[in-house]
Amino acid sequence: MNQRTLGPAGPPVSAVGLGGMYLSITGRPEESAAIHTIHAALDAGVTLVDTADVYCLDESDIGHNERLVAKALAGRAERVTVATKGGLRRPRGAWTRDARPEHLVAACEASLRALGVATIDVYQLHAPDSAVPFAESVGALARLREQGKVKWVGLSNVSAAELAEASRIVPVASVQNRWNPGDRSPERDGVLAACTAAGIAFLPYSPFGGASGALALGQRKGLAAEAARRGMSPHRLVLAWMLAKSPVVIAIPGARRETSARDSAAAADVVLSAADVTAIEASF
């Protein structure tokens, strides 16, 4: 599988990774099936797994996906980069923000235990918290890095201005924002351009528009036709389109089934021309 660099000074990883969320939230598969899905991705060449402490059912289930990933990576962990996140909570199943430094420190310690590691490869601020100065949240991650608990720092759900502010505090390896055919805001708000210019990895989450969007992709007649013409699924074509937009893009699609994980992984080796990209975007 083709590889890309996770940030200016980060490791080489597969151009397509695996997002773990759907293996741990409502509707999640049985643990054995979830592990088979992770193994299918690894066998297809995936070397980046993205998780978070809040990929779970509720506050009592915090760390579920991290523990699942750790179990699946037993015996293979040295070949895989794991990115996790802190800064959210799951009270009664809701998604709320808490990027206070003290919460981030406690969340990082819990993630270290859940993943069974001494140092987290990539620790990402899950989202800015309007109740906390952004610099304080990023500063907490910088200190975790200085303490050796985190190798690289990442951000999620940030603006171009917030990325610039964070970069003055700590080297930023990655940015994870929402991006898909129905929400192309990173192409307009300057975040993708800023990442490209600085060599910061851009990890688009929800690349198919969520679970409902993934089901709807096949119903986009123009996109389906473009995919059929190239002998692939619309989902694989969307990921290939993202990879063609910038050399810093590393896709992290989620998957509940082995077949989905393998299909997504194959996008890393699809080569698209500028004319292909134009035709695909017209199909959106």
In this predicted structure, the answer to whether residue 185 has a pLDDT above a threshold of 90 is yes
pTM: 0.95
Give the pLDDT confidence of 21-68 residue by residue, as tens digits.
Answer: 999 999 999 999 999 999 999 999 999 999 999 999 999 999 999 999
**Average pLDDT of every residue of the chain:** 96
Q: What's residue 213's pLDDT?
A: 81
Q: What's residue 113's pLDDT?
A: 98
Nearest to 5 by CA among 274, 155, 262, 199: 199
Question: Which is catalytic among the residues 22, 55, 123, 205?
Answer: 55
Percent of the chain predicted with pLDDT > 90: 93
Cα separation, 229 vs 91, whole angstroms: 46
Residues 25, 29, 32, 34, Cα dihedral to 10°: -60
Q: What's residue 38's pLDDT?
A: 98
Give the pLDDT band (50/70/90) at residue 212: confident
Q: What's residue 77's pLDDT?
A: 75
In this predicted structure, the answer to whether residue 272 has a pLDDT above a threshold of 80 is yes
Give the pLDDT band (50/70/90) at residue 78: confident
In this predicted structure, the answer to whether residue 109 has a pLDDT above a threshold of 90 is yes
Q: What's residue 143's pLDDT?
A: 98
Helix (H, G, I), strand (E, B) or coil at 173: strand
Which residues neighbour 224 within 8 Å (Cβ) at sequence distance 6 or greater?
A: 217, 218, 234
Q: What's residue 208's pLDDT?
A: 94
Beta-carbon count within 10 A of 275 CB: 8
Active site includes 22? no
CB 42 within 8 A of CB 1: no
Cα separation, 75 vs 38, whole angstroms: 13
Q: What's residue 210's pLDDT?
A: 84
Cα separation, 157 vs 55, whole angstroms: 16
Q: What's residue 211's pLDDT?
A: 79
Nearest to 73 by CA among 52, 43, 53: 43
Q: What's 3-218+243-266's CATH class?
A: alpha beta
Q: What's residue 265's pLDDT?
A: 98
| DSSP code of residue 30 | P
CB-count burial class (<10 Å; 0-12, 13-18, 19+) for 187:
middle
Q: What's residue 215's pLDDT?
A: 78
In this predicted structure, the answer to whether residue 90 has a pLDDT above a threshold of 80 is yes
Tokens standing for residue 116: 């069974």
Tokens standing for residue 91: 């009270």
In this predicted structure, the answer to whether residue 5 has a pLDDT above a threshold of 90 is yes
Question: What percentage of the chain's residues is helix, strand, coil (to nearest 5)?
Answer: 45, 15, 35
The upper half-sphere exposure of residue 13, i.e. CA atoms within 13 Å in the direction of its Cβ, equals: 33
Residue 159, Cα to own-chain centre: how many angstroms?
A: 17
> Could you state, in order of their start, the residue ranges of all structural domains in the chain?
3-218+243-266
Q: What's residue 202's pLDDT?
A: 98
Give the pLDDT confidence of 191-207 residue by residue, as tens digits.
Answer: 999 999 999 999 999 99
Give the pLDDT confidence of 122-175 residue by residue, as tens digits.
Answer: 999 999 999 999 999 999 999 999 999 999 999 999 999 999 999 999 999 999
Ramachandran category for residue 176: left, alpha or beta (phi over 0 → left; psi -120 to 50 → alpha): beta
